[in-house]
Structure 1
């Protein structure tokens, strides 16, 4: 059933490493949820993975971890609740022992490729239905004959208690001594001994109802992840020597040629071989409008070919497509836990034993010291015992964070875990690189200024000299000439002039393209100064020593840059430009966007500027190049543009896969909403338990309401976290 995997590193965005979640104990055990040292699955040995059946909440994941940790030979174990995966690292094959240990804890495993076992709703809910029927019969008998009704409630309690007590014993054997099943069993048995038979049965019924609700809420919480997993088809059409054959997507390798029909989804990241095609990438990037792709452009796995049959060259290894990287980020959410989550873990370690001690003292002190009746205080002690499980408190933070990460992924924002999400919610300033981040990163010809020659002739001569060059300015000139449909003459003897420009022979004349400050342009000095003051790069075209005219070029703003800055200002976030470009170009862009700027910065200067800004308020750094990576690391949180370099993407704590700046404000709003959701969840979890703690001591509430304080609060905080998935 296990799936052994050879040890390999999986990219994070582009180079994402698959690390496990930190190991935790069951949330209801002594020393529960104590933060442990962060772990990673080791690079040596073999890694095995399964899918776990039957997990209803994060506490179940901890129970499975505890069970597997008892197996001899297991080096590391990790349960990823968001995707229901169990990862185990061991030096030898311990698959059978792991499967037996999980079975002994009351759960089952299946291989990742095996389909989920389909269980009929009747069979799945049979214990609950049986208990409801027995409760109704017991209540009816109680109305007519108390002794028979009492016996019926006892029978109902024993029937309901059997599976719960059996699970409690299983968990005790696997190291989870004080799971909620154990606390429920003790409370139900104690209630029988003091004669509260109806309440004992009601407690078990409410517990089973709560379990079903938790399972429903958990499945809803996982829907966002399941939807991503469903984007990848199971098979692909591969072209081999012109013949089509259907293969599993795990068989695809970089370089393979695949075919995707109109309306079909890409099974792997690919480069388009067809001339042009439209793709719906909304499921991955949040972009609602189909994207036009030309031959050679990359298309992510999960995108849908909108209007035609297309052929692509596979670019990604199995398990390393765009969808796989998003899923791995979500799986890793608990590894990079938010500070508030680590605090809750530490608090819950104290909370459970403290409540258990209070329950014991409430049970014995009044009868022993004050002669109070044992029955009433045992009842109160049992009630407090049910309040002692901090399931709702422990799930309050990861439920919100998982929902927040999934919601961000739907909108084309990848965030590396809860810590990054919390940092993002605190951001008050954003520092931007200019080229490729605020601007398109492709210079464009903005003006052609001829002298005694036509515009088209001047541009054609310049394009002839620049033909074949890889310099961005040269390519911009050639693109402009081609877009005008000009005939570009042939040039020979092209020669780069270090520090000044480039020259070539066109026919029997020598044509030189030079930077404006390297060649005196008689009569054009005023125009050159004007253009440079506007932040444009000026190139002078000279033929046999005679100036023919000027070309002005500029890297233009992204279409959404102004809208993005307006959105950020609306949520109280200020922006600053940090660029290595010249001050004039930076000033021009900053003026258009209403931002401050620092120009002429080397990578070390950017780090220094970011450090200074970060000291005054939490700062995010947005960039796309290798030179931005050190500054992104120095900021509170680094955000990479999806079109950026691998180094920038790997260094960043978050990335915009859709490459839209307007996604920044959306990302920050979602992070702030997630932080507010966490606070709401903690208030619900602690507030309900606090209320029931007081009302129990005052004798106002009893056992069955204590169950609501636990399972009800767990369902409430999970449902509240699900609201993040519906945010627009």
Structure 2
């Protein structure tokens, strides 16, 4: 039951008791002044100030402790929802890795390794996906020449395509390329399955309808991440991964991390539908996602969690000298004839503003998230305890205000004493909130 709902129910209870006490005084033929004083005293003694005071300071102190862990809490109310969350949904498998991805194999078909990598990097140069950036960085490290592309199009969870020298080139998973009628040999599909069983991600490259090879990408999951995921599970969170990877990659991740549930080969629009299905069980769902790529999914979540952007290194932003850059530029690639670049088609969806996260944690630091979940849960237990104390003290103050204990020698508490007593209870609740 929510904190605001409890306060509303308490107010309804106090109003009922107040008018009941006033009616009882009227039935006893008491003076009108006493009837009004009794009703007013009960209302003032039962003000929800102590209940309201039982939560804000606790949430504030938990937020301060979160900053010590490098966590930014943008919405204080999200801490209570995080404490009561039953499921943590990860929207991408790359969230499980520390960012140390690398290319393990280049398997060309009818072209050289350099041409295969250059072809893939040319298409992926317009993408912000981590695997695309890895391919481009590897091509840059090998000083390969990238070709101008036109009509770039990225399909989230599947791959990217562009036109190079009037030929459509696609880079992505096998399922998408086969749906585009690409000719991929059974030998390459078998090889891709073998790589997937080892936890590698096979990225196919096709030129026209013909396969030009595949690139194997390895993303390692650190022991610290695995230990932090297990700690989150011990804290009562069910872990679910929504990924576009194939079944074999998903099985490898599940074997390594022991995540409770993995939905594989699922695209962004399907992820939102999966979340809505989980919401039908009235569970509180926390989502760790990308506020730009997973906009609809994050909007549907109860708690939005995102990575903090990595710190920028100012030294790495210094551009190289012009003369040096010209000396290191390799010659033209015979496999790609030169073609004047054309203006790229920009996606209108990219201009949409991303949603704002409720909580931002250091990139890859699941341990910080586990500690925040633990402190939020302890804080909510403290809030519930203080709420009970406030209710008991207010009830004890309300009893003499009803003027029903005067036959037993208990004096009537007038409205002035009632409001002072309620304020003292609220101050007491605030003082014990410093335990958080």
* 2:96 matched residue in structure 1: 438
- Stretch deviating more after TM superposition (525-534 or 347-356): 347-356
Larger radius of gyration: 1
Give runs of aligned pairs for residues 352-431 of structure 1, distance below 5 A.
Answer: 354-355=17-18, 358=21, 365=28, 387-408=45-66, 411=69, 412-418=71-77, 420-431=78-89
Give runs of aligned pairs for residues 510-529 of structure 1, distance below 5 A.
Answer: 527-529=191-193
Query: Is 1:689 matched with 2:394?
Result: yes
SS of the residue corresponding to residue 662 of structure 1 reads helix
Corresponding residue to 1:714 among 406, 409, 426: 426
* In structure 2, C-alpha distance between the alignment counterparts of 1:403 and 1:450, rounded to whole Å: 57
TM superposition shift of 1:433: 0.9
* In structure 1, C-alpha distance between the alignment counterparts of 2:420 and 2:385, rounded to whole Å: 18
Are the aligned partners of 2:87 and 2:286 in contact in 1 as well (CA < 8 Å)?
yes
* In structure 2, C-alpha distance between the alignment counterparts of 1:496 and 1:385, rounded to whole Å: 72
Deviations for 1:684-722, whole angstroms, at most 9, x for unmatched residues? 222113234447834468879978843432122112333
TM superposition shift of 1:348: 2.9
TM superposition shift of 1:467: 6.1
Relative distance call for 1:399 and 1:363 in structure 2 (3 A) is farther
Q: CA RMSD in A?
A: 5.2
Relative distance call for 1:608 and 1:481 in structure 2 (3 A) is closer
* 2:298 matched residue in structure 1: 632
* In structure 2, C-alpha distance between the alignment counterparts of 1:364 and 1:699, rounded to whole Å: 21
* In structure 2, C-alpha distance between the alignment counterparts of 1:668 and 1:692, rounded to whole Å: 36
TM superposition shift of 1:513: 11
Superposition TM-score, scaled by structure 1 size: 0.40
Corresponding residue to 2:197 among 527, 533, 538: 533
TM superposition shift of 1:610: 1.6
* In structure 1, C-alpha distance between the alignment counterparts of 2:72 and 2:114, rounded to whole Å: 43
TM superposition shift of 1:624: 0.8
* In structure 1, C-alpha distance between the alignment counterparts of 2:74 and 2:105, rounded to whole Å: 41
* In structure 1, C-alpha distance between the alignment counterparts of 2:43 and 2:269, rounded to whole Å: 58
Query: Is 1:577 matched with 2:241?
Result: yes
Deviations for 1:214-247, whole angstroms, at most 9, x for unmatched residues? xxxxxxxxxxxxxxxxxxxxxxxxxxxxxxxxxx
SS of the residue corresponding to residue 572 of structure 1 reads coil
Corresponding residue to 2:263 among 571, 578, 598: 598
* 1:562 matched residue in structure 2: 226
* In structure 2, C-alpha distance between the alignment counterparts of 1:648 and 1:591, rounded to whole Å: 37
Deviations for 1:228-268, whole angstroms, at most 9, x for unmatched residues? xxxxxxxxxxxxxxxxxxxxxxxxxxxxxxxxxxxxxxxxx
TM superposition shift of 1:641: 3.2
Give runs of aligned pairs for residues 132-531 of structure 1, distance below 5 A.
Answer: 339-345=2-8, 347-348=10-11, 351=14, 354-355=17-18, 358=21, 365=28, 387-408=45-66, 411=69, 412-418=71-77, 420-439=78-97, 443-447=101-105, 470=125, 473=131, 475-477=133-135, 479-480=137-138, 488=143, 491=145, 527-531=191-195
Relative distance call for 1:351 and 1:573 in structure 2 (3 A) is same
* 1:198 matched residue in structure 2: none
* 2:288 matched residue in structure 1: 622
Query: Is 1:672 matched with 2:337?
Result: no
Relative distance call for 1:524 and 1:626 in structure 2 (3 A) is closer
* In structure 2, C-alpha distance between the alignment counterparts of 1:527 and 1:699, rounded to whole Å: 90
* In structure 1, C-alpha distance between the alignment counterparts of 2:160 and 2:232, rounded to whole Å: 41
Are the aligned partners of 1:424 and 1:637 in contact in 2 as well (CA < 8 Å)?
yes
Are the aligned partners of 1:363 and 1:381 in contact in 2 as well (CA < 8 Å)?
no
Are the aligned partners of 2:45 and 2:422 in contact in 1 as well (CA < 8 Å)?
yes
SS of the residue corresponding to residue 366 of structure 2 reads coil
Structure scoring higher RCO (CA < 8 A, sep ≥ 6) equals: 2
Deviations for 1:5-46, whole angstroms, at most 9, x for unmatched residues? xxxxxxxxxxxxxxxxxxxxxxxxxxxxxxxxxxxxxxxxxx
Are the aligned partners of 1:449 and 1:551 in contact in 2 as well (CA < 8 Å)?
yes
SS of the residue corresponding to residue 667 of structure 1 reads helix
5+ residue gaps in structure 2?
A: 153-158, 175-181, 311-349
SS of the residue corresponding to residue 609 of structure 1 reads helix
TM superposition shift of 1:682: 1.9
Relative distance call for 1:581 and 1:522 in structure 2 (3 A) is closer
Are the aligned partners of 1:359 and 1:384 in contact in 2 as well (CA < 8 Å)?
no
Relative distance call for 1:548 and 1:629 in structure 2 (3 A) is closer
Relative distance call for 1:434 and 1:440 in structure 2 (3 A) is farther
- Stretch deviating more after TM superposition (471-480 or 598-607): 471-480
SS of the residue corresponding to residue 624 of structure 1 reads coil
* In structure 1, C-alpha distance between the alignment counterparts of 2:44 and 2:279, rounded to whole Å: 46
Give runs of aligned pairs for residues 12-51 of structure 1, distance below 5 A.
Answer: none
Relative distance call for 1:676 and 1:646 in structure 2 (3 A) is farther
TM superposition shift of 1:379: 12
Relative distance call for 1:406 and 1:601 in structure 2 (3 A) is same
Superposition TM-score, scaled by structure 2 size: 0.61
* In structure 1, C-alpha distance between the alignment counterparts of 2:299 and 2:151, rounded to whole Å: 38
TM superposition shift of 1:672: 2.4
TM superposition shift of 1:671: 3.3
* 2:342 matched residue in structure 1: none
SS of the residue corresponding to residue 686 of structure 1 reads helix
Relative distance call for 1:716 and 1:613 in structure 2 (3 A) is same
Are the aligned partners of 2:84 and 2:284 in contact in 1 as well (CA < 8 Å)?
yes
TM superposition shift of 1:495: 7.5
TM superposition shift of 1:516: 9.5
Are the aligned partners of 1:622 and 1:639 in contact in 2 as well (CA < 8 Å)?
yes
* 1:372 matched residue in structure 2: none
* 2:278 matched residue in structure 1: 613
Matched length: 359
